[in-house]
Amino acid sequence: MEDVEQETYDPHGLSAMLRRRYSLNISAELLRTESFIGGKWVSTPSTFPVLDPATGKKIANVSDCGPHEARDAVSAAYKAFYSWKEQTAKERSVLLRKWFDLLIQHKDDLAKLITAECGKPMKESLGEIAYSASFLEWFSEEAPRVYGDVVPTNTKDRRIILLKQPVGVASIITPWNFPSAMITRKVAAALAAGCTVVVKPAEDTPLSALALAELSAQAGIPAGVFNVVPCSRESTPAVGEILCTDPMVGKVSFTGSTATGKILLKHAAGTVKRVSMELGGHAPFIVFDSADIDKAVAGAMASKFRNSGQTCVCSNRFLVQSGIHDQFVEKLGKAMDTELHLGHGSDPTTTQGPLINVRAAEKVEHQITDAVSQGATVLRGGKRLEGSFMQPTLLANVTTNMLCTREETFGPLLPVIKFNTEEEALMMANASNVGLAGYFYSKDIDQIWRVVEQLEVGMVGVNEGLISTSVATFGGVKQSGLGREGSKYGIDEYLEIKYMCFGGLTS
């Protein structure tokens, strides 16, 4: 294997690209900057800026909600709940389908919003809108299929019925990396079940949430059913605490870091709320000797570099068996050379946008420095560029002592560890306190079943690097969270089961 550091990415070309003026040319009705509470757009005394992570330039000033607005939103949702839950499942289904149709109708503008505030390339942003809309479509069809049970009894004078009913107001707290899809994956299930919601979007990406609010109103979703309370980083702890402790809230659903999830769990414990937590990942990507190397390389590229490595199911640790290690690494390096292009997300040639902020870039840079100091070899990239841009980086000679193999990266860093046996690979893959997703490539059917059953994760991609879909469950084990989203099971997170015993009957 050739150990060569290549200057693949042109920093001067990147600088020139970022000096251009990028305008957000979308319909004015979708660029909302106020909170959405009880069906009304509500301003606040203070605002906070939303920045383009590629250029650092301001896109808009957005209302900075605090505890007062959070309580108002919960009250609006609580009031709306008692009429929303009485609508028939068919009526709720029709409204969700109208919302879906509007997302598809406005997909280009919604994608531009994602690229502007999140930084991902337009192709990926369009993909996210399709993914986001799919949850509205899926759960619009699941709403009429919330079935209870008639249970046979052991006595003749009674009948047993199990009913499913909505839990009430759901607080929805979402991350910045999928600013549209992480909302609809939760909200569509909640609304289909008959719940109402208060959404607190990430402070980096509130514009997509507010655009969803505008389209929900256009779809005819009643006032108070869908509320959005954007807030700054400074206001987030106070708003988050209200959303997790208010006694009118029956359910909390959060996607984000494990550390933050633990804080919210403590808040929710005080009133024993239902919770769903989709937390951190540290996904292993295993390539066995029997794998199709070209397919494994393609899978690695898709799994690692989507959204510049900023997804919770991105592969983080690449374990490659010794028999094909050198060939895999060589082909992977060539694929990085030809397929990855840094730039502003609105440029059609861009495949790698910026990281969300400077802190994120500093974390990746620190992991690279740590790995190199312990003997890792930089085969591609390795450098911090302008602003929050990082070169996509390939490391070889990586060991399990290095930071990049012990903590989630959330950036375009691909560390490769060589292993010899299946048992060794599984031991390394499972040596983590989180278990969201895992991937492996093999053509050995016996091995495939063994590894699937032994990987300690909630989702497994077998010979596949992209696994997320609205029709399948999404969630993890260990400290990667609680509950499942998507699929026919996702709606259960927003339902309670009520047992009814009908006695005193005569035969």
Degrees to nearest 5, angle at CA 420 with 414 and 424: 80
Given the residues 278, 422, 485, 493, select the one marked as catalytic. Answer: 278
Beta bridge partners of 252: 171, 275
Query: Quick one: tokens of 240?
Result: 């988050």
d(CA 209, CA 35): 10
For residue 65, give the amino acid letter: C
Query: Quick one: tokens of 308?
Result: 């510049």
For residue 131, give the amino acid letter: Y
User: Which residues are CB-contacts of 336 (< 8 A; sequence separation ≥ 6)?
Assistant: 8, 301, 380, 381, 392, 394
d(CA 55, CA 19): 8
Query: Quick one: tokens of 190?
Result: 């909640």
Supply φ then ψ for residue 227, to 5 degrees: -125, 145
**Which whole-number Å values give the CA distances from 476 to 49, 277, 278, 279, 415, in the listed order?**
34, 9, 7, 8, 23
Beta bridge partners of 437: 459
Name the 3-class secondary structure at 163.
Answer: strand
Is 137 an active-site residue?
Answer: no
Contact yes or no for 135/185 (Cβ under 8 A):
yes
Given the residues 65, 195, 312, 404, select the one marked as catalytic. Answer: 312
**Strand-by-strand arrangement of the 149-151 sheet:** 149-151, 159-166, 495-502
Query: Quick one: tokens of 74?
Result: 């919960």
Is 365 an active-site residue?
Answer: no
Name the 3-class secondary structure at 402.
Answer: coil
- Which active-site residues does the annotation give? 278, 312
